[in-house]
A and B are shown apart, each in its own frame.
Chain A
Amino acid sequence: KAGVTQTPRYLIKTRGQQVTLSCSPISGHRSVSWYQQTPGQGLQFLFEYFSETQRNKGNFPGRFSGRQFSNSRSEMNVSTLELGDSALYLCASRQRNPQETQYFGPGTRLLVL
Chain B
Amino acid sequence: AQKVTQAQTEISVVEKEDVTLDCVYETRDTTYYLFWYKQPPSGELVFLIRRNSFDEQNEISGRYSWNFQKSTSSFNFTITASQVVDSAVYFCALIFSSNTGKLIFGQGTTLQVKP
Interface residues of A (CB under 8 A from B): 31, 33, 35, 42-45, 48, 55-56, 58, 88, 90, 92, 94, 97-107, 109
**Interchain CB contact under 8 A, A103 and B101:** no
Most-contacted residue by chain A among B37, B44, B91, B93 (CB, 10 A)? B44
User: B87-106: contact bitstring with A at CB < 8 Å (1 yes, 0 no)?
Assistant: 00001010101011111111
The total of chain B residues at the interface (CB under 8 A) is 25
**Interchain CB contact under 8 A, B44 and A106:** yes
User: A104 and B50 in contact (CB under 8 A), knowing A56-B100, A56-B101?
Assistant: no
> A31-B101, A33-B103, A104-B37 are known contacts; what are 13 more A-B pairs with Cβ within 8 Å?
A42-B106, A42-B107, A42-B108, A43-B108, A45-B102, A45-B104, A97-B101, A98-B95, A99-B33, A100-B101, A101-B35, A102-B47, A102-B103
Most-contacted residue by chain A among B42, B102, B106 (CB, 10 A)? B102
**Interchain CB contact under 8 A, A107 and B95:** no
21 contacts between A and B (CB under 8 A): A31-B101, A33-B103, A42-B106, A42-B107, A43-B91, A43-B105, A43-B108, A48-B100, A48-B101, A56-B101, A88-B43, A90-B45, A99-B95, A101-B35, A101-B47, A104-B37, A104-B45, A104-B46, A105-B44, A106-B42, A109-B43
Nearest residue (CB) in B for A88 is B43
Interface residues of B (CB under 8 A from A): 33, 35, 37, 42-47, 50, 52, 91, 93, 95, 97, 99-108
